[in-house]
Amino acid sequence: SASGPVDAPLPLYERSLIEACAFSEAERTVLILDQLQGADFATQMRLYRFVDCGEWSSPAGSVQAHAKNFLLLLISEQPLYHSLAKCSFRVWTDAQRGFLDYRPADYNLGAEAQALFDAMASLCVETAAAPTPSEFGQILDDLMQRARSEEQLRQSLFGRIETIERARLYAPEVLPALRAVLFEVERLLGVDEVVLSD
């Protein structure tokens, strides 16, 4: 039997946008479109038209976002298409310094761990590292379970943080910050000394 032409599948962002519009009919909906610096001009033009009128058209049909229930967040590392940027509310964030806001309570630790978090923040500044919340949690786990030397801490940082430079971990000026973290880990966990006598 003959079959008609098959429509190309919709891009993921477009399917997400259509679903979000449908959800917005019944409840509050937030749609986050990230990495817009990779979107071509035509896509940004379509997004501008959607922001302007609230209607999204595709080969599958048209959907309308419920204006009171729908919030669209656009994330881009580069400027958006001028018209799209002009109808948006722009927020600048410094993701590189987000680790400075991590708190012990976020990782099920008490206030006594604050000095360790402060030492970790100083180390991140010295190494120009910006760990994500999950990377930071993995490093904390390494520190609580196994990392007890400068080299082990370097390995943990290099293995866990995607954006860290290995050479920077070995720079002489980073050594005091590494030692400060290890000191705070020992202070937090306590150190058992074993003395072997003859």
Please state, as a whole number, how many other Cβ atoms lie within 10 Å of the Cβ of residue 104: 17
pLDDT in tens, 54-100: 999 887 789 999 999 999 999 887 888 888 888 888 776 655 565 67
DSSP helix/strand/coil, 71? strand
Q: State the pLDDT at residue 58.
A: 83
pLDDT in tens, 142-185: 999 999 999 999 999 999 998 899 999 999 999 999 999 999 99
Q: Which two tokens stand for residue 56?
A: 């999204």
pTM for this entry: 0.53
Q: pLDDT class for 1, splitting at 50, 70, 90? A: very low
Strands, E, within 34-169: which ranges? 55-58, 61-64, 70-74
When the pLDDT of each residue in the chain is averaged and rounded to a whole number, the result is 87
By DSSP bridging, strand 70-74 and strand 29-33 are parallel
pLDDT over 90, % of the chain: 59
Q: Give pLDDT, residue 68.
A: 94
**45: Cα separation from own chain's centroid:** 27
